[in-house]
Amino acid sequence: MMAGVPDDREQLRTTFESAARRYHQARPDYPAELLDELVRLAGLQAGSRLLEVGCGTGKATIPLARRGFLITCTELGAELAAQARRNLARIGEVEVVQEAFETWQPPAGPGYDLVFAATSWHWIDPAVRYRKAWEVLRSGGHLAFWSASHVFPEDGDPFFAEIQDVYDEIGEGLPEGAAFYRPGELPDERAEIEASGLFTGVVVRQFDWEISYDAEGYLRLLDTFSGHIAMEPWQRDRLYGAIRERLAGRPDGRLSRGWGAVLHVARRRDMQHSGPRRDPAQ
């Protein structure tokens, strides 16, 4: 189970820099079915112009670049941007710009066909993100975002509930009322998108998959989560030692983690007589 995400978004969004090299190997690939649905809903075709918000190391960029789209990426972290450039050096037509999406200015020319964010939208300033996406999209363009979250099948691996006693011991327990979502039951951001007044035709799709990890593979994954990166060394030592010990006691030494993603796709609303409304978080 991932430790609770602290509230300081501006500080935490920079923690991924320290995991730039591990991130690409440890984080899961997104299901091909999710990308297929994104392409269909956004009406993309080879040559479509895409803007990615917070590309990280290029986990979502690579499979989309291979489909023939022209992609510009913004990435706040210098190390993450450098890693993305290395990963994408021989794949399609991609430009990685090391800058925050909130302050980045698009080049002159037509707007983008799609603005998308894979596991990064929640890090973008809520007072800016919808308005900025609206501004850089062409008429009829689309916004899309999704995250990869932990889900708990009804007959899923009990390891994550069992290890919570160690999280509690080190002061990183789940907040009161934390939910253990089933596959297909993750909350969505439809209401927030609609409240912005900037997008219409919102479509939400959920995708689920499972990945098996040995102890070291799972710890590499935890090393890419902001809450774990921000832990004190003694906290990580105690937690990681317990994970190794408990998995060593299993016959195959492995755990199975459920993943879920909620894909949101919405069409840019054209404003004929007035500018866009303020974002709902302002």
pLDDT in tens, 43-58: 999 999 999 999 999 9
d(CA 26, CA 83): 14
The per-residue pLDDT for range 3-17, each reduced to its tens digit, is 333 345 454 444 455
Residue 225 lies in a domain: no
- Number of structural domains (the chain) is 1
Residue 159 lies in a domain: no
Of 35-39, 169-173, 227-231, the least confident? 227-231
Burial of 158 (C-beta count, 10 Å sphere; 0-12/13-18/19+)? exposed
Domain that holds residue 264: 9-154+177-212+258-268
CA distance readout (Å), 154 to 126, 180, 253: 33, 10, 22
Q: What is the pLDDT of residue 59?
A: 95
Q: What is the mean pLDDT of residues 177-193?
A: 95
d(CA 250, CA 243): 11
Closest-CA residue to 2 (of 256, 228, 208): 228
Q: What is the pLDDT of residue 282?
A: 46
pTM for this entry: 0.87
Give residue 46's region: left, alpha or beta (phi > 0; psi -120 to 50): beta
The per-residue pLDDT for range 125-178, each reduced to its tens digit, is 999 999 999 999 999 999 999 999 999 999 999 999 999 999 999 999 998 888
The per-residue pLDDT for range 247-268, each reduced to its tens digit, is 999 999 999 999 999 999 999 9
Residue 281 lies in a domain: no
Residue 148 lies in a domain: yes
3-state SS, residue 226 = helix
pLDDT at 90 over 70: yes
Q: Residue 147 sits in a domain of what CATH number?
A: 3.40.50.150
187: its two tokens: 């909350």
Q: Which residues contact 130 (CB under 8 A, 6 or more apart)?
A: 143, 193, 196, 198, 199, 279, 280
- 34 φ/ψ angles, rounded to the nearest 5 degrees: -65, -45
Q: How confident is the model at residue 25 (pLDDT cuts 50, 70, 90)?
A: confident
Q: What is the pLDDT of residue 3?
A: 38
